[in-house]
């Protein structure tokens, strides 16, 4: 990458950094603990949210995770409509269908119930309600909404995305297989419910990959050049919570405290990267999700150590700081950083997360690389830039 591009990217990032505090970014009102999902009817009534549309998936309906909420809403005689057409990697078509149902059923608010996909889908629906004449594809990028959404109550049932705290939603264009983020402060939900009971039944594979997703958010935010004191604090809290709780949640699925702590880790990670942004790990993961439908958390978990090794000495000091937080020792920043990366690899191996992505096809790499670079540059304040040559090498390493 030529020097003029690098200068332009850093100037762009500097402007975003300076402007960000004036965008009115808020945090969701947070309820944490066992049974907090049953506080939703009270919220709906007290905050005058009218008739909510519950955005979720058929799988969660079939697992009966929403039964207690339905019962409480019925008991309180609060009308609602259920839109359960969300699948992994929500698409433009899912959002458009949700907008139709929202309007047909005279809904006035949204309850996003599930992992990152239902929450992102609900945000997309809200964005289209706020901007009825603007196509989803025209919202790609930053600050393309700029109008208030219907109030959203986000109820994560996985501990990873942190979407209940972020200004981003990630959408897949099913026609082009392009997966991209939409970033706007109005996408931050009004309320977030972190009820660990909802995550107790998570399969080990989802517990592991969503947990590593939360770690990726924190690490990418911390090593980037867009940090504030708060984002550093949030990232450190996330890394500490993941270090202390993820393997427990993975091996002892009924451990409520570990589950709650992982929900907090995901939430804090979301706050961190909402302000400090992410990096190439996410850009590459989005390209893989769009092209092959690879779950986002899984992709992030696999890509993270490759990118940390690529950044090399540019992140030794910051990785060494994170290593110190969790008790990883070494005689130099480089040694601590390398041991931190090894810890990430060891976590993946312990939880049976693969180190390669077999779905990658050589003929798709160029398109995916271009999409990833377009997403990352100039927005993401990464510690070290990549061009086509460098990012192509990462895809080939991921192929094995």
Average per-residue pLDDT for the chain: 97
In angstroms, the CA 144 to CA 168 distance is 12
Task: Kindly state whether residues 122 and 94 are assigned to the same domain.
Answer: yes
Confirm whether 9 is domain-assigned. Answer: no
Task: Kindly state whether residues 301 and 157 are assigned to the same domain.
Answer: no
The pLDDT of residue 47 is 96
Task: Kindly state whether residues 280 and 184 are assigned to the same domain.
Answer: no
Confirm whether 212 is domain-assigned. Answer: yes
Task: Kindly state whether residues 292 and 173 are assigned to the same domain.
Answer: no
Q: Which two tokens stand for residue 183?
A: 């970033």
Query: By percentage, how much of the chain surpasses pLDDT 90?
Result: 98
In angstroms, the CA 90 to CA 316 distance is 36
Confirm whether 17 is domain-assigned. Answer: no
pLDDT digits (tens, 9 = 90+) for 373-386: 999 999 999 999 99
Task: Kindly state whether residues 77 and 161 are assigned to the same domain.
Answer: yes
pLDDT digits (tens, 9 = 90+) for 133-189: 999 999 999 999 999 999 999 999 999 999 999 999 999 999 999 999 999 999 999
Write the secondary structure of the chain as one string of H (helix), E (strand) and C (coil). CCHHHHHHHHHHHHHHHHHHHHCCCCCCEEEECCCHHHHHHHHHHHCCCCCEEEECEHHHHHCCCCHHHHHHHHHCCCCCEEECECCCCCEHHHHHHHHHHHHHCCCCEEEEEECHHHHHHHHHHHHHHHCCCCCHHHHCEECCCCCCCCCEEEEECCCCCCHHHCCEEEEEECCCCEEEEEECHHHCCCEEEECHHHHCCCCHHHHHHHHHHHHHHHHHHHHCCCCCHHHHHHHHHHHHHHHHHHHHHHHCCCCHHHHHHHHHHHHHHHHHHHHHCCCHHHHHHHHHHHHHCCCHHHHHHHHHHHHHHHHHHHHHHHHHHHHHHCCCCCCCHHHHHHHHHHHHHHHHHHCCCCCCCCCCCHHHHHHHHHHHHHHHCCCCCCCCCCCHHHHHHHHHHHHC
The pLDDT of residue 1 is 78
247 lies in which domain range? Answer: 203-399
Task: Kindly state whether residues 61 and 113 are assigned to the same domain.
Answer: yes
Q: Which of 150, 182, 199 is the C-terminal boundary of a domain?
A: 199
The Cβ of residue 242 has, within 10 Å, a number of other Cβ atoms equal to 27
The pLDDT of residue 117 is 96
Query: By percentage, how much of the chain surpasses pLDDT 70?
Result: 100
Calculate mean pLDDT across residues 233-245: 98
Calculate mean pLDDT across residues 74-93: 96
Query: Domain tally for the chain?
Result: 2
Task: Kindly state whether residues 394 and 245 are assigned to the same domain.
Answer: yes
The pLDDT of residue 87 is 93
The pLDDT of residue 264 is 98
Q: Which of 164, 182, 199 is the C-terminal boundary of a domain?
A: 199
Confirm whether 15 is domain-assigned. Answer: no
pLDDT digits (tens, 9 = 90+) for 262-297: 999 999 999 999 999 999 999 999 999 999 999 999
Residue among 209, 113, 213, 123 at smallest CA distance from 166: 123
The pLDDT of residue 48 is 97
Task: Kindly state whether residues 165 and 131 are assigned to the same domain.
Answer: yes
* pLDDT exceeds cutoff 90 at 201: no
* pLDDT exceeds cutoff 90 at 396: yes
Residue among 112, 170, 118 at smallest CA distance from 300: 170
Task: Kindly state whether residues 193 and 208 are assigned to the same domain.
Answer: no
Task: Kindly state whether residues 255 and 376 are assigned to the same domain.
Answer: yes
The pLDDT of residue 400 is 83
């Amino acid at each position: 990458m030529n020097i003029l591009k690098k200068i332009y990217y850093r100037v762009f990032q500097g402007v975003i950094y300076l402007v960000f505090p004036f965008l009115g970014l808020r945090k969701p009102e947070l309820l944490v603990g066992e049974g907090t999902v049953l506080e939703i009817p009270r919220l709906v009534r007290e905050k005058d949210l009218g008739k909510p549309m519950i955005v979720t998936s058929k799988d969660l309906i079939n697992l009966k995770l929403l039964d207690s909420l339905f019962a409480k809403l019925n008991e309180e005689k609060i009308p609602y409509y259920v839109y359960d057409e969300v699948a992994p990697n929500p698409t433009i078509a899912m959002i458009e269908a949700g907008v139709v149902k929202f309007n047909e059923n005279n809904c006035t608010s949204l309850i996003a119930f599930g992992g990152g996909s239902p929450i992102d889908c609900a945000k997309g629906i809200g964005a289209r309600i706020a901007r009825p004449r603007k196509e989803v594809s025209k919202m790609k990028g930053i600050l393309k909404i700029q109008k208030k959404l219907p109030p959203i109550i986000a109820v994560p049932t996985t501990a990873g995305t942190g979407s209940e705290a972020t200004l981003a939603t990630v959408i897949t264009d099913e026609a082009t297989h392009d997966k991209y983020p939409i970033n706007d402060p109005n996408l931050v939900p009004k309320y977030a419910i972190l009820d660990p009971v909802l995550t107790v039944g998570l399969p080990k594979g989802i517990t592991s990959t969503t947990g590593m997703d939360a770690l990726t958010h924190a690490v990418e935010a911390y090593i980037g050049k867009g940090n504030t004191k708060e984002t550093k604090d949030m990232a450190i809290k996330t890394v500490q919570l993941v270090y202390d709780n993820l393997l427990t949640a993975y091996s002892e699925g009924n451990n409520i405290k570990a589950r709650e702590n992982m929900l907090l880790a995901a939430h804090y990670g979301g706050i961190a990267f909402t302000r400090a942004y992410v990096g190439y790990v996410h850009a590459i993961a989005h390209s893989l999700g769009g092209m092959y439908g690879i779950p986002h958390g899984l992709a992030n978990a696999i890509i993270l150590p490759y990118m940390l090794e690529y950044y090399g000495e540019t992140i030794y000091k910051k990785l060494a700081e994170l290593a110190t937080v969790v008790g990883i020792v070494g005689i130099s920043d480089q040694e601590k950083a390398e041991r931190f990366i090894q810890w990430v690899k060891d976590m993946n191996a312990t939880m049976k997360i693969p180190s390669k992505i077999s779905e990658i096809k050589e003929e798709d790499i160029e398109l995916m690389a271009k999409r990833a670079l377009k997403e990352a540059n100039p927005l993401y304040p990464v510690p070290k830039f990549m061009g086509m040559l460098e990012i192509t090498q990462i895809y080939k390493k991921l192929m094995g």
